[in-house]
């Protein structure tokens, strides 16, 4: 799970919902990915109150599901000629996968998807809105302004 978190922290294009994934088979990481695109600090999906897994036409970074961490992870493994059947995916930054990512993972033969314990509590819209509001108070936010607090979820540095 640490490697999936590292993908989210280092490679995600979404400042509000950084998500990373790694694919593991036979105890080896064979694929890795993060939600991709250009880094943005404006979230059209949140402003339009889009339910999870929908409204990507409002997202400046993720125009389609192929930019999602899970899809990028599968694509990375396949591009590097790894056999993905019966591999597991570790997902950090979200509490579940959208249908198009499920379809990609099923086609690739992924066996299981693992999330951090209590992901449904930490990766919520309310937590992300707190981060969004705190970022808006910064004149020029950067990726480094966002941090993960164990047991609390995403926060802006210095936020209590």
Give pLDDT, residue 115: 92
The distance in angstroms from the start CA to the end CA of the chain is 25
Structure token digits, residue 115: 């999330």
Question: Range with the lowest mean pLDDT among 4-13, 52-61, 96-105, 123-132?
Answer: 52-61
pLDDT confidence tier of residue 117, bands split at 50, 70 and 90: confident
Sorted by where each begins, the domain ranges of the chain are 2-156
What is the per-residue pLDDT for 79? 95
For residue 64, the 8-state DSSP code is: S
In the chain, what percentage of residues exceed pLDDT 90? 36
CA-wise closest residue to 22 among 116, 69, 86, 90: 90
User: How many Cβ atoms from other residues are within 10 Å of residue 145's Cβ?
Assistant: 18
The pLDDT tens digits of the residues spanning 143-156 come to 555 555 555 555 55
Q: Which CATH architecture has domain 2-156?
A: 3-Layer(aba) Sandwich (3.40)
For the cut 80, the answer to whether the pLDDT of residue 47 exceeds it is no
Joined together, the tokens standing for residue 73 give: 């992870």
Query: Rounded CA gap, 22 and 30, in Å?
Result: 8
Residue 155: what pLDDT? Answer: 53
Collect contacts of 139-143 with beta carbons under 8 A, ≥24 apart.
Answer: 141/15, 141/41, 143/12, 143/15, 143/39
Closest CA to 101 of 52, 45, 50: 52
Confidence check: pLDDT of 41 > 70: no
Q: Is the pLDDT of residue 126 over 90?
A: no
pTM of the model: 0.71
Res 139: pLDDT: 52
- Highest mean pLDDT: which range of 76-85, 95-104, 119-128: 76-85
**Does 11 have pLDDT greater than 70?**
yes
């Amino acid at each position: 799970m640490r490697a999936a978190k590292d993908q989210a922290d280092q490679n995600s294009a979404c400042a509000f919902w950084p998500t990373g994934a790694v694919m593991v088979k036979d105890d080896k990481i064979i694929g890795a990915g993060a939600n991709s695109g250009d880094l943005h600090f404006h979230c059209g999906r949140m402003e339009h109150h889009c339910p999870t897994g929908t409204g990507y036409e409002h997202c400046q970074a993720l125009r389609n599901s192929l930019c999602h961490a899970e899809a990028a992870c599968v694509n990375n493994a396949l591009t590097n000629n790894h056999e993905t059947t019966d591999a597991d995916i570790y997902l950090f930054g979200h509490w579940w996968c959208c249908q198009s990512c499920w379809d990609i993972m099923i086609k690739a033969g992924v066996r299981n998807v693992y999330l951090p314990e209590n992901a449904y509590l930490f990766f919520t819209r309310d937590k992300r809105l707190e981060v969004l509001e705190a970022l808006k108070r910064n004149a020029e936010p950067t990726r480094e302004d966002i941090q993960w607090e164990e047991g609390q979820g995403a926060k802006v540095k210095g936020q209590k």
